[in-house]
Amino acid sequence: MAEAVLKGQIRTQVGKGVAKKLRRQRLIPAVIYGGASGPMAVTINPLEMSKLLGTGAGENVLITLSLEGDGEPSRTVILKELQRDPVRGGAMHADFLEISMKRKIKVQIPIRLAGEAIGVKLRGGLLEQHLREVSVECLPGAIPSHIHVDVSHLDLGHAIHVRELTVGEDIKVLEDPAKPVVTVLIQRVAMEEAAGATEEKPAEPEVVKKEAKEGKQEGGKTA
């Protein structure tokens, strides 16, 4: 399980006006949820946040958050939501969730495919990934960075389902076991489906046909 360290400060003032003022001061307003005392408003230094994001930290990275003015030496949190400036891309607001290492939580885990399916490599099939992440429940210390799925053995028409995913013993997958994760389609079938989805060529308007017929009759008359 990946881990990161982040520093911040507790703040007492909240609201949209306060958040705008903090951003003008080049600070990132944030809120910590899940604590025993309720939501806690904090500010994060953008340089600290840049360091955190530079490690590839996402929702499933455990963060040791140290806050100035807090009675506790540190808190363990995960980043639940990050709002970015639509133009510059910089962080504008962050939501953190405080967690207990002894209590299970629900998180989304990305699926990473590996290998080249024989149905694609040797038989011209088409690989289709139906799920790119799955919901799981486990202790924070057992959260995997991703779920590895080897597709190299898949032939035409074959699939890997949720029930076939390999995860740790302490991890419970919450998705429908029968749901397909990845499938190798027969290219001909895929092409037929695509062709069936296209609209038929519209018929020539009746008025055009009529005009063409009349023109032909007039052209056939002798002077």
Average pLDDT, stretch 211-215? 51
Inform me whether the pLDDT recorded for 10 exceeds 80: yes
pTM across the whole model: 0.70
User: Closest Cα to residue 59, out of 31, 23, 96?
Assistant: 96
pLDDT band of residue 196 (cuts 50, 70, 90) is: low
Inform me whether the pLDDT recorded for 191 exceeds 80.
Answer: no
User: How many percent of the chain have pLDDT more than 90?
Assistant: 45
Residue 189 is predicted with a pLDDT of: 53
Mean of pLDDT values over 172-194 = 84
Q: Which residues contact 45 (CB under 8 A, 6 or more apart)?
A: 7, 8, 27, 28
Per-residue confidence (pLDDT) for residue 223, from 0 to 100: 40
Indicate the average pLDDT of the chain: 83
User: Which distant-in-sequence residues (6+ apart) come within 8 Å of 175 by Cβ?
Assistant: 131, 134, 135, 162
Q: What pLDDT digit, counting tens, does each position of 56-114 carry? A: 656 678 899 988 866 777 889 999 888 888 888 788 899 999 999 999 999 999 999 99
Q: Report the candidate in 9, 29, 140 with the shortest Cα–Cα distance to residue 82.
A: 29
Cβ-count burial of 93 within 10 angstroms (0-12 exposed, 13-18 middle, 19+ buried)? middle
Q: Which domains does the chain have, with CATH numbers?
A: 3-98 (2.40.240.10), 105-197 (2.170.120.20)
pLDDT over threshold 90, residue 204:
no
pLDDT of 5 reads: 86
Neighbour-count burial of 104, counting CB atoms closer than 10 A to its CB (0-12 exposed, 13-18 middle, 19+ buried):
middle
The most confident of the ranges 12-16, 39-43, 60-64 is 39-43
The CA radius of gyration of the chain, in Å to the nearest whole number, is: 29
